[in-house]
Amino acid sequence: MTANLPKTDDRGAWIERVLATNLAEIRPAERDVLARLKELAYDDDHLFAVRLAFEEALVNAMKHGNQSDPNRSVRVRYRVSPECVEICVADEGPGFNPGAVPDPTANENLDKPCGRGIMLMRCYMDKVEFTPEGNEVLMVKNREP
Amino acid sequence: MKIQTTTEGECLVVAISGSADVNASAVLREALLSAIEAGSTRVVCDLGETDFIGSDALGVLITAYLKATGRGGFVKLANPQTHLTEVLETTRLNCLFDVYPDVPGALASV
């Protein structure tokens, strides 16, 4: 199942990229999205938040979703309007239950080196929704709080 | 990302400049863990010029912290700027690490 993205509307068309499962693909993808934010004069806080959430989503998709399998791809769709940034990241893995991920801010988990990606995505974006299968996530960051 | 290390007394100061993103975290891991394994277990990370950090690099800092404290040392964080301070607070890693407003403050705490 794929995220139920709205079609082209007054926020413009979605841009789609298919990335290989290779961490080196992340920086160019980030650069494309952040360039659109800069064109529309989003501030540094938005740039940082979107970069962080996008990177975490891509790392999750490549490492955990696609299990670093170079034969699998990550599909990215995004659009940036003056009002908000919308990013969808889908992997080809079996999915997971995001609700089952332990809270990394709990005292007993503070010294765990992993497990902060989803929490950071949720904290830095205004909306984070996974498909029921858990292998696709839609994130939205509004310009206004 | 660039890493510059200097020695201040018994402490190793590791200045991390630029973006500590997922592609840079392997370099950070090698720099920190190899130094600690070589005996530099008293480490201050200078984050004054770190403009980005992702969860992978946070994991490296935690691994370094565990390795250093396991050997009787420490990893302290100094000079995080606004966005990094926010990340440390959001993740509550400011409860795990000792965080100082500057490197001299971190060194003075030793």
CA closest to B82 among chain A residues: A45
Nearest-angstrom CA–CA distance, A125 and A86:
10
Chain B residues within 8 A of A110 when measuring between CB atoms: 92-93, 95-96
Please write the tens of the pLDDT for every residue from B63-88.
999 999 999 999 999 999 999 999 99
b/e code B69-106 from CB counts within 10 Å (16+ = b): eeeebbbbbbbbeebbbbbbebbbbbebbebbeebeeb
CB contact under 8 A, B55 and A117: yes
H, E, C per residue of chain B: CEEEEEEECCEEEEEEEEEECCCCHHHHHHHHHHHHHCCCCEEEEECCCEEEECHHHHHHHHHHHHHHHHCCCEEEEECCCHHHHHHHHHCCHHHCCCEECCHHHHHHCC
Look-up of token digits 């403009």: B51
Asked if ipTM goes beyond 0.90, one says yes
CB contact under 8 A, B55 and A59: yes
Q: Answer yes or no: are the C-beta atoms of B88 and B53 closer than 8 Å.
A: no
The answer to whether residue A52 neighbours chain B at the CB level (below 8 Å) is: yes
CB contact under 8 A, B22 and A23: yes
Please write the tens of the pLDDT for every residue from A18-53.
999 999 999 999 999 999 999 999 999 999 999 999
Interface of B with A in 56-85 (CB under 8 A): 56, 58-60, 62-63, 65-66, 83
Please write the tens of the pLDDT for every residue from A48-94.
999 999 999 999 999 999 999 999 999 999 999 999 999 999 999 99
CB contact under 8 A, B54 and A105: no
pLDDT category at A95 given cuts 50, 70, 90 is: very high
